[in-house]
C-alpha cells in the first residue's frame, strides 16, 4: 500500500509522478488554505512531508502530525524546518545538496552578465524604438574582482566559472576558512564588499545570516560595485538595498530571491538598476528531476529501515 506523503510546496506533475512511482500516495497542498483543509483530515495517517527551505516545517506543524517520521526538503535549504522539534520526536530530516548546483551557478552568471551589460534595459529600449539611448557604455566582467559570500558547492562553481572563463580574481567569506580552497579568504563580509567589483551571495538563509548584507556592506561595495543574490532573500536587508539603488550607492543588483517571496515589496520592484528573477536559478529540467529522484531515494531508504541518503545534521543540545 502506498505511504501517505504531504507535499506542501508547488510541484509540477512530472516530479509528483516520479515521487509517486517510488511508492507514495501524494497529497498536494501547496497553499496555506489547502494545508489548513487537508492536514486535520489526514493527520492520523501522514507519515512523511515534502517541503523546502522557504516553506519549512514549524514546531507547531510538526505537533499536528502524530505519525510523522520524515521531513524531506527538495532543495539544499532547510532553514525554516524546526530541527529541534524534529529531533525531539525522532523525525528524520533530509535535504537535496548537489542536485541543482550546476544550474544555479549557470544562472548566477546569467545575472552577472545581464546586470553588468544592462541586457534587460537595452532590450526594452530597443523594442521601444530608443536604439541610441540603449548604447551607453557598460562595465566589463573579464579581469575584475569576484567576491563570494558562502563557498559551498554552488559558491565554488561560481568561482570556477569566474576564474577560468573570465580571468577574475576570486575572494570569499565563509563561516570558516576553507583550507583546501585556492581563493583568498577575507575575514568579514564588509571587507569582501570593499574588495569586490561583483559581490555574489551564495549563502543559506536562517537566523545566522539574516541581513548579513546591510547598509554598511552596501556602502562598502560602493558606486562601482554590483550585488548578485542567488542564496536567500533574507540575507539582504531589503530596505537598505532599495535605498542604495535609488541613491546610486551601488552600481546595480541582480537577485533571484526576495525576502518574503513570492511577495515582492513595491519599493523593491520599482528600484532602478535592478534585475529580479523569480527564484528560478535551480529550475532546469535536469536539476528538477534530480531533486525529485533524491527525495524518492531518501523516502524509500527511510521506509525500508535504511540510512537516508542526505540527512540534515541535527542540533547538538
Beta partners for residue 24, in sequence order: 3
What is the helix (H) or strand (E) element at residue 44, kind and residue range? none
C-beta separation of 6 from 74 below 8 A: no
Q: How many helices (H) and strands (E) does the chain have?
A: 12, 12
Which entry of 261, 263, 286, 302 is annotated as an active-site residue?
A: 261
Q: Residue 283 catalytic? A: no
Peptide bond into 262 cis (omega under 30): yes
Which entry of 27, 92, 156, 279 is annotated as an active-site residue?
A: 279
Which entry of 27, 107, 232, 302 is annotated as an active-site residue?
A: 232
Who contacts 90 (Cβ-Cβ below 8 Å, separation ≥6)? Answer: none
CA 146 to CA 162: how far, in whole Å? 7
Q: Residue 261 catalytic? A: yes
Report which of 261, 258, 262, 204 is spatially closest to residue 81, judged by C-alpha positions.
Answer: 204
Q: Residue 160 catalytic? A: no
CA 245 to CA 255: how far, in whole Å? 13
C-beta separation of 136 from 116 below 8 A: no
Q: Supply the residues annotated as catalytic.
A: 232, 261, 279
Amino acid at each position: 500500500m502506498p505511504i501517505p506523503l504531504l507535499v506542501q510546496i508547488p510541484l509540477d506533475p512530472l516530479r509528483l509522478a516520479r515521487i509517486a512511482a517510488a511508492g507514495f500516495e501524494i497529497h498536494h497542498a501547496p497553499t496555506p488554505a489547502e494545508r489548513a483543509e487537508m492536514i486535520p483530515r489526514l493527520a492520523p495517517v501522514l507519515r512523511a512531508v515534502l517541503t523546502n527551505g522557504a516553506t519549512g516545517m514549524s514546531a507547531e506543524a510538526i505537533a499536528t502530525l502524530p505519525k510523522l517520521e520524515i521531513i524531506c526538503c527538495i532543495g539544499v535549504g532547510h532553514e525554516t524546518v524546526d530541527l529541534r522539534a524534529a529531533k525531539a520526536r525522532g523525525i528524520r530530516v533530509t535535504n537535496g545538496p548537489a542536485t541543482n548546483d550546476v544550474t544555479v551557478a549557470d544562472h548566477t552568471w546569467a545575472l552577472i552578465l545581464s546586470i553588468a551589460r544592462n541586457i534587460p534595459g537595452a532590450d526594452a529600449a530597443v523594442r521601444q524604438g530608443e536604439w541610441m539611448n540603449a548604447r551607453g557604455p557598460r562595465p566589463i566582467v573579464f579581469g575584475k574582482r569576484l567576491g563570494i559570500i558562502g563557498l559551498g558547492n554552488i559558491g565554488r562553481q561560481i568561482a570556477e566559472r569566474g576564474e577560468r572563463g573570465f580571468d577574475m580574481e576570486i575572494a570569499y567569506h565563509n563561516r570558516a576558512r576553507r583550507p583546501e580552497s585556492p581563493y583568498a579568504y577575507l575575514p568579514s563580509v564588509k571587507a569582501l564588499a570593499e574588495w569586490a567589483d561583483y559581490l555574489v551571495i551564495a549563502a543559506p538563509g536562517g537566523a545566522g545570516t539574516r541581513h548579513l548584507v546591510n547598509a554598511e556592506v552596501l556602502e562598502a561595495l560602493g558606486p562601482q560595485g554590483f550585488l548578485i543574490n542567488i542564496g536567500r532573500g533574507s540575507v539582504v536587508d531589503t530596505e537598505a538595498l532599495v535605498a542604495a539603488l535609488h541613491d546610486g550607492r551601488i552600481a546595480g543588483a541582480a537577485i533571484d530571491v526576495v525576502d518574503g517571496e513570492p511577495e515582492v515589496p513595491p519599493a523593491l520592484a520599482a528600484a532602478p538598476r535592478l534585475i529580479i528573477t523569480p527564484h528560478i536559478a535551480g529550475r532546469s529540467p535536469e536539476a528538477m528531476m534530480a531533486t525529485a529522484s533524491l527525495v524518492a531515494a531518501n523516502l524509500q531508504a527511510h521506509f525500508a529501515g535504511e540510512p537516508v541518503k542526505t540527512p540534515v545534521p541535527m542540533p547538538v543540545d
